[in-house]
Amino acid sequence: MMVTSPSRSRNVMVVVDPTPQSAAALQYALSHALVEQDRLILFYIENPSSWKNALATFIRKSSNSSSSAPNSISEGAFGTDADFLDQMRRACEVAQPKINVKIEKTDMDGKDKASVILSKSKDLRIDLIIIGQKRSLSSAILG
């Protein structure tokens, strides 16, 4: 259920990437943090040493070890950055049609992620930042 906000609209940033933790952060924002007329910014930090490089290495190793395996995975079966960002945007527009959704992408430019996020949040005048968290079983149990 979306609550109507009598005050000014807010800028809410969700830091996204193609992980379950990011999807959970977005779901939290949609169900608990956003109100009508807010602006949602899906913020993706492109990183040259990202998951795609690890995935490409895995695909090369597995295709070398089993030459009879189909090669469709290495031909982009996982999609591109734009694919997951567009899917996230569409999900937001379906879940909260009155929310303005914008995608922002940037490179790390040699900085750490925290600095990039804080710098972009200042530039965009962000009121709330939501970031997914990878939790181990022990931290989930112990808090």
So what's the pLDDT on residue 18? Answer: 92
Higher pLDDT, 107 or 140: 107
CA-nearest of 107, 80, 85, 108 to 14 is 85
Percent of the chain at pLDDT > 90 equals: 55
pLDDT beyond 90 at 141: no
So what's the pLDDT on residue 89? Answer: 94
Q: Is the distance from CB of 44 to CB of 16 less than 8 angstroms?
A: yes
Q: Is the distance from CB of 104 to CB of 125 less than 8 angstroms?
A: no
Cα 60–chain centre separation: 26
So what's the pLDDT on residue 66? Answer: 46
Average the pLDDT over 121-136 and give the result: 91
Q: Is the distance from CB of 117 to CB of 103 less than 8 angstroms?
A: no
Q: What are the chain's domains? A: 7-47+79-134 (3.40.50.620)
So what's the pLDDT on residue 135? Answer: 75
Percent of the chain at pLDDT > 70 equals: 66
Higher pLDDT, 10 or 65: 10
The label of the residue with tokens 């809410």 reads 12
Give strand pairing partners of 15. Answer: 43, 131
pTM summary value: 0.71
So what's the pLDDT on residue 64? Answer: 52
pLDDT beyond 90 at 74: no
